[in-house]
Amino acid sequence: MRTPHALIFDMDGLLLDTELHYKRSWTQAAKEMGFDLTDDLYLQLIGITVADAEDVLAKEFGAGFDKAKFHDRAAFLYEELHKKEGLPLKPGVRELLIWAKENNVPCAVGTSTVQEEAIRRLKHHEIFEYFVVVIGGDMVKRGKPNPDIFLMAQGELNLTADNCLILEDAHSGLLAARAGGMRSCLVPDLLPASDESRRIAEGVFESLHHVREWLALGCPVEEKTRS
């Protein structure tokens, strides 16, 4: 495989270590409303937009589930966790972005998070400057696993789909990449790589450190999994 002309990153769970905060805040908000958001149910929400995730919960919990109330309470609890415990970068983020800049590989973000919030978080960690464009879930009609977010990022990069490599932590993102005709790699976060994920992704990696090493080697097929 050839080295890609551009990298498109997911954000939550890949660049930023957000998923545990989301899980804790969403589980607590549901509990306060009298609902049990199990681990198995939460895993179904990873990688999709907040609006789509809330629709999944409404379908699961029934008519008594107040989406607006849940949304506001979960957002409040999330921000409290963020203030108290911080929101660290995932291992290897800065090193990979520096490598991409030094090798003239443009980078973009394609995230289910709304654009304004995504930009705020990237600026907080002083990595916003590395990205040509940030596409948020509020900018498209269809979230992942539809390809719209990545296709918009690809258009802004002015490259063909097959020249873009999608970096994801969730299976839904891999499906979105495939639907858009793009290559993809997986760095699993809360949810381990499934057999289908391994078939779709060019590589499954323990961290972005390993992604950088793989890219520097020219994306060898024989090193599909690195840890």
* Cα pseudo-dihedral 225, 143, 87, 129, rounded to 10: 90
CB of 203 closer than 8 Å to CB of 225: yes
C-alpha pair distances (Å), 17 with each of 33, 38, 47? 26, 20, 13
11 contacts 150 by C-beta, under 8 angstroms: no
Query: What is the spatial distance between Cα 10 and Cα 6, in angstroms, rounded to a whole number?
Result: 13
- Catalytic residue numbers? 10
- How wide is the angle at C-alpha 161 spanned by C-alphas 156 and 167, nearest 5°? 85
The residue behind tokens 């008594």 is 64
